[in-house]
């Protein structure tokens, strides 16, 4: 399982994106922020609400120099069928990665072997491919794209301002902290 500060293993996965199927090497995102949205399965109940929300926020992630990739153990053909049939999923333009063997999910620690699916998890990777934040929880609990965006912005801020820290519920423009000092303002 990956831990904070570790580099993401370089996998090549098939992806469905904007009516095409292609291979995507995760190292292609080096130099940019990467958000990996692991989810259990296509044609389920919670997953389309999350991915539709991520699609809505996608332009804001792109403004932060971040790419989103969703990922499940379904095949690219299942991703395509879901994209073609679901009104919520039709709006997704980011890559939908396929890990039908579960090997990448296993490497990342999200794989549920008894079910053959991934846990719901979010990984935020910096431009060097290092894991800066992750969240993993029960598949019955949906996540918030607004909170993922906030965490990305905080990670970008602390990378751009070494030694700074972001307090609880920090948003761009809020005061930051310097350990050992009081609030230091907008660095």
| Domain containing residue 29: CATH number | 3.40.30.10
| Residue 135 within any structural domain of the chain | yes
Per-residue pLDDT of the chain (187 residues; tens, 9 = 90+): 789 999 998 999 999 999 999 999 999 999 999 999 999 999 999 999 999 999 999 999 999 999 999 999 999 999 999 999 999 999 999 999 999 999 999 999 999 999 999 999 999 999 999 999 999 999 999 999 999 999 999 999 999 999 999 999 999 999 999 876 555 555 4
The model carries a pTM of: 0.94
Among 47, 69, 105, 108, the active-site one is 47
| Residue 178 within any structural domain of the chain | no
Query: What is the count of structural domains for the chain?
Result: 1
| Residue 171 within any structural domain of the chain | no
| Residue 75 within any structural domain of the chain | yes
| Residue 154 within any structural domain of the chain | no
| Residue 185 within any structural domain of the chain | no
| Residue 136 within any structural domain of the chain | yes
| Residue 158 within any structural domain of the chain | no
CA distance 185 to 177: 8
- Domain containing 22: what range? 12-143
105 is catalytic: no
């Amino acid at each position: 399982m990956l831990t904070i500060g570790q580099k993401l293993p370089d996998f090549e996965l098939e992806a469905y994106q904007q009516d095409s199927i292609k291979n995507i090497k995760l190292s292609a995102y080096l130099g940019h922020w990467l958000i990996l949205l692991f989810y259990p399965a296509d044609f389920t109940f919670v997953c389309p609400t999350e991915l539709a929300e991520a699609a809505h926020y996608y332009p804001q992630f792109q403004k932060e120099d971040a790419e989103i990739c969703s990922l499940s153990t379904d095949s690219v053909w299942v991703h395509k069928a879901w994209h073609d049939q679901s009104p919520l999923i039709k709006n997704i333009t980011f890559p939908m990665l396929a890990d039908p063997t579960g090997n990448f999910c296993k490497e990342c620690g999200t794989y549920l072997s008894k079910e053959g699916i991934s846990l719901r998890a979010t990984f935020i990777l910096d431009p060097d491919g290092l894991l800066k934040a992750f969240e993993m929880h029960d598949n019955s609990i949906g996540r918030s794209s607004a909170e993922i965006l906030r965490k990305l912005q905080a990670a970008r801020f602390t990378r751009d301002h070494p030694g700074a820290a972001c307090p609880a519920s920090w948003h761009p423009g809020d005061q930051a902290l310097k350990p050992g000092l009081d609030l230091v303002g907008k660095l």
